[in-house]
Structure 1
């Protein structure tokens, strides 16, 4: 029996240009500043992409394939934990839709084909808002949010 699938959608508005938002997602030297990871690929349809920790160990945490690239308006990739790439059921898909909206950008991230109730679903529902808030802060102010900061216990 096939497992139930779900999706997560996050929309934010960024005072920037579509080109800068697209570059922030696809250029490793920019992504490391707000994400603490680098998205590494040649960004051609069918190519592999890797989500690499931007530290001394350079651990590959996520792996996927580039499905669609239409700079600077759309990027679609598959997404799986590096340890689960052999399991097709663990793969999901992320779509970045980048659109001009007045004098800013509307960035819509849709993470779908997620196994409902999985660790991946739980992780991304917390992770995407933090990462995308950090991207927004970085592009608007030059200062990112520490995405690895843990809230202090009350």
Structure 2
């Protein structure tokens, strides 16, 4: 079972038209043949994350109020923030800020919500990444990154191997 969809909306430019709230939003939905618990573990475990997130890993204890960071393989901080909500194995909300690209850092914080639902023999993963800024360059950037990361995650969980096992850099 396989289905996925990505959509970005923001003000002008490649992201699309402005929303009523003045937000820029990216939504991606995919169905993965796994269990909610296995998907949660893949989303929060360093060993899994490094395999599908191009060598990057999270540093976090995954409790609401805890600090969170996403780091390159060499340890540099790519993104950081805080866990807003953690409801294993069904919902995770992260306050998220890019740390390595000055133009994205300047846009401020975004919110990323990961919703996990059992649907028949699969799990539906919905990632909603938004920022209270129309035409966000950050949301435009994640709209290119999330599909690659989530395709890797889906393939890894279903086959045991990542689709694109490359290491990320900030180049």
The TM-score with structure 1 as length reference comes to: 0.85
Per the TM alignment, residue 93 of structure 1 is displaced from its structure 2 partner at its CA by: 0.4
Match of 2:154 among 128, 131, 136: 136
Q: Deviations over 1:127-154 (max 9, x none)?
A: 11111011000000011122658xxxxx
User: SS where residue 44 of structure 1 aligns?
Assistant: coil
Per the TM alignment, residue 40 of structure 1 is displaced from its structure 2 partner at its CA by: 1.3
Listed as ranges, the gaps of 5+ residues in structure 2 are: 1-21
Q: Which runs of 4+ in 1 moved over 6 A?
A: none
Judging changes above 3 Å, is the alpha-carbon distance between structure 1 residues 102 and 146 closer, same or farther for their aligned structure 2 residues?
same
Tell me which residue corresponds to 2:95: 78
Q: RMSD value over aligned CA atoms?
A: 2.0
Per the TM alignment, residue 119 of structure 1 is displaced from its structure 2 partner at its CA by: 2.6
Q: Distance in 1 between matches of 2:60 and 2:166?
A: 24
Q: Distance in 2 between matches of 1:61 and 1:102?
A: 36
User: SS where residue 115 of structure 1 aligns?
Assistant: coil
Per the TM alignment, residue 109 of structure 1 is displaced from its structure 2 partner at its CA by: 0.3
Q: Deviations over 1:94-147 (max 9, x none)?
A: 000000000110000000125333331221111111110110000000111226
Alignment coverage as a number of residue pairs: 143
Task: Indicate if the aligned counterparts of 1:27 and 1:40 stay in contact, CA closer than 8 A.
Answer: no
The answer to whether residue 141 in structure 2 is matched with residue 109 in structure 1 is no
The TM-score with structure 2 as length reference comes to: 0.77
